[in-house]
């Protein structure tokens, strides 16, 4: 029989508690030391904590994502359609839908975009440095971490770059649907945003049919591929929304972690021009403070997990942050070691739903960190340097609740407020 989460940890394992979200790892360690799989009475689901158990759940063909329409379905037609027809939610057609867009995310194609991404990074970072020069400090998340990933994925997918703010606005309104206590006006606004986004993609696809370009949307919009019109719209929205989440959160978490580990920041500055060493560092930063920590699967048939039976219809929540700090797999798991190799972290998933954009996210985060190391080598953050908070990104990341980490490094001041400082000459 699967053990219940002990009463003390039920209270502690609360995604709505800012203290837990700020540092969930002690709770994860305590639970994992008792069992790899627990039953959480309040959540009504099983909870997987060890690296082995989380990997097993994510790979298991009887544990799948199961979409349920928002009700009343007739009033949330656009929101439901965007999810029901996406590769993330449509298990029956997952392989076909993924295959239609996967060439765009192959490592070779992503590597070919390095010059374009580098140019986008330099442009956003240049604007950030100009703000530091003019105002004395700048907001990293607003000026770089949030807009840049949308710039990159929009360029990759063939969206006009000028529409980035519009795309971010729709994405942010749609994912509000996943907040635990969303009110009715916000639900209606999420549906409106979904409808507006659908209409935008439909109009853009029609334009590409008439005037095709050298981009994926032009290739898919002519109707000769494996995607129907509605599937094209749903998966393009998914790729835009999901394609920037890991990078946004990963950049914020990485900057905070490097601020808290100055010796590792010095190492990164030394290896910033070494592509292999830089990717090794990115993998460790993703492991150390996993941006999207919680995924959910549903048993479509009874399944045995670690000697325990999970019945059809029961849910299993996978805590990736717990898996990535498992001492059975990682030495000194709470430490940050940018040379750690091998590094079998699960931050980007595993199995059939392994993050399609993983090569893009790793490259993008690496280029941002390399650019920061070159142009802002002595950055400073205020105290406290970040605010870890719940993030309503379940729609795009596969999260079941609001445990996604968004440790926001907010400002880059030019006056010393901590152990390191960002002087004007650094830009």
Q: Kindly list the catalytic residues.
A: 242, 245, 247, 355, 364
Beta-bridged to residue 295, according to DSSP, are: 318
Helices (H) and strands (E) in the chain, counts: 19, 9
CA dist 324 to 56, 234, 356, 407, Å? 14, 31, 20, 17
The helix-helix angle for 229-260 and 184-210 (nearest 10°) equals 110
d(CA 298, CA 57): 10
Could you identify the residue written with the tokens 């830009």? 427
* Cα gap 361→359, rounded to integer Å: 6
Where is 386: in which H helix or E strand? strand 386-387
Distance CA 38, CA 12 (A): 14
Six-digit token string for 28: 């994860």
- What the block records as the tokens of 142 is 């607003």
Indicate the SS3 state at residue 273.
Answer: coil
Q: State the first-to-last Cα distance of the chain, in angstroms, to the nearest integer.
A: 59
**CB-CB contact of 232 with 101 (8 Å):** no
């Amino acid at each position: 029989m699967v053990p219940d989460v002990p009463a003390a940890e039920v209270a502690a394992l609360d995604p709505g508690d800012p203290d837990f979200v700020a540092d969930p790892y002690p709770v994860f360690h305590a639970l994992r030391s008792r069992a790899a799989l627990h039953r959480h009475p309040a959540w009504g689901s099983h909870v997987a904590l060890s690296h082995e158990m989380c990997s097993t759940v994510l790979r298991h063909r009887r544990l799948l994502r199961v979409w349920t329409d928002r009700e009343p379905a007739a009033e949330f037609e656009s929101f439901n359609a965007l999810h029901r027809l996406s590769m993330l939610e449509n298990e029956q057609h997952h392989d076909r839908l993924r295959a239609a867009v996967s060439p765009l995310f192959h490592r070779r194609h992503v590597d070919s975009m390095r010059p374009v991404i580098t140019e986008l990074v330099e442009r956003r970072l240049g604007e950030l440095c100009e703000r530091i020069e003019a105002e004395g400090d700048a907001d990293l998340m607003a000026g770089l971490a949030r807009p840049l990933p949308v710039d990159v994925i929009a360029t990759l997918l063939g969206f006009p770059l000028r529409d980035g703010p519009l795309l971010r606005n729709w994405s942010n309104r749609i994912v509000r649907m996943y907040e635990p206590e969303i009110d009715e006006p916000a639900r209606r606004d999420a549906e409106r945003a979904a409808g507006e986004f659908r209409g935008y993609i439909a109009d853009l696809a029609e334009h590409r049919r008439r005037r095709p370009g050298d981009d994926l949307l032009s290739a898919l919009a002519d109707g000769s591929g494996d995607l129907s019109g509605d599937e094209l719209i749903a998966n393009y929205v998914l790729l835009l929304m999901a394609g920037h989440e890991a990078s946004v959160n990963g950049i914020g978490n990485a900057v905070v972690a490097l601020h808290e580990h100055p010796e590792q920041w010095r190492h990164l500055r030394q290896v910033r021009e070494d592509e292999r060493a830089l990717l090794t560092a990115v993998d460790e930063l993703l492991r150390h403070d996993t941006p999207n920590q919680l995924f959910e699967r549903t048993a479509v048939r009874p399944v045995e997990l670690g000697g325990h039976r999970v019945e059809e219809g029961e849910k299993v929540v996978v805590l990736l942050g717990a898996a990535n700090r498992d001492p059975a797999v990682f030495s000194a798991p709470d430490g940050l070691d940018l040379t750690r190799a091998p590094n079998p972290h699960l931050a980007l998933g595993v199995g059939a739903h392994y993050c399609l954009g993983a090569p893009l996210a790793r490259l993008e985060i690496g280029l941002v960190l390399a650019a920061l190391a070159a142009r802002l080598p002595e950055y400073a953050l205020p105290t406290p340097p970040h605010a870890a908070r719940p993030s309503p990104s379940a729609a795009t990341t596969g999260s079941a609740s609001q445990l996604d980490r968004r440790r926001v490094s907010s400002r880059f001041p030019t006056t010393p407020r901590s152990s390191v400082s960002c002087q004007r000459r650094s830009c």
